């Protein structure tokens, strides 16, 4: 299934895509796409519903982030070999973990706001891993059974805030609108192998990132298991699993985003995001 949330910001309703790609309204069956709805049993219940019997969403309805109730966004840095190489960093012996504030969550087609004092706003296409059920001390072998599904995640990053403001990644990663998600949450059963997905970024029509999740240093299953050794993972929590090479900071000379730019992100099977950069007023 491809699950969505549609409507004005803060007023999103749950939905799914039918066989023709039309958004159908699920609000008569569930309150939102979050919590127990993301469990295996909750998703099975949604699969039993005939999409043709659901009302269609209004034409042109805004799509919001496809998951609700996210408690934490756990981000993995330098998790692609070629990205680590372009930054000149050593490959981490363990996953490099930082967090992104949930207040940064944005819809897949919403504007991305460049902070007033930003000089180095950058892009990072990532495979977002959405947790479906409580996970703690899980093994790598069973880890994927705790995943509800996957979505595109743009880990928008302000590199000056990230690297030159006392070395705290969080403040370079958590600006408002800096976590576009979606357009859809694609359930786990529709992703045959999360380690065989193509990820792309285009900036103003020019390809900047074009990599494969095969290049990950630590697999999705490993990341879920690893993180669950330190903390409970709850339904709706999201793991940003790292980005391929081709970020602006790695270009020679570096290139960064500015108001007026358009950014498009694609992950095979997970759809496409499209956003315009605007200045913060």
Q: What pLDDT sits at residue 157?
A: 98
The verdict on residue 60 lying in a domain is no
- Residue 78's alpha-carbon distances to 25, 144, 211, 254, in angstroms, are 39, 22, 14, 18
Same domain, 27 and 119: no
SS3 per-residue string spanning 200-256: EEEECCEEEEEEEHHHECCCHHHHHHHHHCCCCECCCCEEECCCCCCCHHHCCCCCC
Model-level pTM? 0.97
Same domain, 173 and 87: yes
Same domain, 205 and 248: yes
Q: SS3 of 113, please?
A: strand
The verdict on residue 37 lying in a domain is yes
CB 197 within 8 A of CB 212: yes
Q: SS3 of 266, please?
A: strand
CB 14 within 8 A of CB 31: yes
Structural domain containing residue 156:
73-279
CA distance 280 to 16: 33
Pairing of strands 179-180, 105-106: parallel
Same domain, 150 and 195: yes
The verdict on residue 247 lying in a domain is yes
Same domain, 198 and 120: yes
Q: What pLDDT sits at residue 54?
A: 98
Q: What pLDDT sits at residue 91?
A: 83
Same domain, 14 and 93: no
Same domain, 40 and 105: no
Same domain, 114 and 85: yes
CB 214 within 8 A of CB 55: no
Same domain, 198 and 97: yes
Same domain, 102 and 215: yes
- Provide the H-helix boundaries in the chain: 40-47, 81-87, 159-164, 169-173, 220-228
Q: What pLDDT sits at residue 84?
A: 83
Q: What pLDDT sits at residue 246?
A: 96
pLDDT per residue as tens, the chain (281 positions): 999 999 999 999 999 999 999 999 999 999 999 999 999 999 999 999 999 999 999 999 999 999 999 999 999 999 999 888 888 888 888 999 999 999 999 999 999 999 999 999 999 999 999 999 999 999 999 999 999 999 999 999 999 999 998 877 999 999 999 999 999 999 999 999 999 999 999 999 999 999 999 999 999 999 999 999 999 999 999 999 999 999 999 999 999 999 999 999 999 999 999 999 999 98
Q: SS3 of 53, please?
A: helix
Q: What pLDDT sits at residue 152?
A: 99
CATH of the domain at 105: 3.90.850.10
CB 273 within 8 A of CB 264: yes
Same domain, 37 and 118: no
The verdict on residue 110 lying in a domain is yes
Same domain, 46 and 156: no
- Total domains in the chain come to 2
């Amino acid at each position: 299934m491809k699950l969505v949330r549609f409507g004005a910001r803060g007023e999103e309703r749950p939905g799914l895509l039918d066989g023709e790609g039309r958004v159908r309204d699920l609000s008569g069956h569930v309150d939102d796409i979050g919590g127990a709805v993301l469990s295996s049993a909750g998703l099975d219940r949604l699969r039993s519903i005939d999409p043709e019997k659901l009302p269609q969403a209004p034409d042109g309805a805004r799509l919001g982030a496809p998951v609700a109730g996210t408690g934490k966004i756990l981000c993995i840095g330098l998790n692609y070999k070629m990205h680590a190489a372009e930054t000149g960093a050593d490959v981490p012996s363990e996953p490099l973990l930082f967090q992104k504030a949930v207040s940064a969550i944005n819809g897949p087609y919403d504007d991305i706001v460049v902070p007033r004092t930003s000089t180095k706003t950058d892009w990072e296409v990532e495979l977002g891993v959405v947790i479906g059920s409580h996970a703690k001390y899980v093994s790598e072998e069973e880890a994927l059974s705790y995943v509800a599904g996957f979505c595109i995640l743009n880990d928008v990053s302000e590199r000056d805030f990230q690297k030159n403001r006392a070395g705290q990644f969080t403040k370079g990663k958590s600006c408002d609108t800096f976590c576009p998600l979606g357009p859809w949450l694609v359930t786990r059963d529709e992703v045959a192998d999360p380690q065989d997905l193509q990820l792309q970024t285009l900036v103003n029509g020019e390809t900047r990132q074009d990599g494969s999740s095969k290049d990950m240093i630590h697999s999705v299953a490993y990341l879920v298991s690893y993180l669950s050794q330190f903390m409970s993972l709850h339904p709706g929590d999201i793991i940003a699993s790292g980005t391929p090479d081709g970020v602006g900071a790695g270009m020679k000379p570096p290139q960064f985003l500015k108001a007026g730019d358009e950014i498009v992100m694609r992950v095979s099977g997970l759809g496409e995001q499209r956003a315009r950069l605007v200045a913060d007023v």
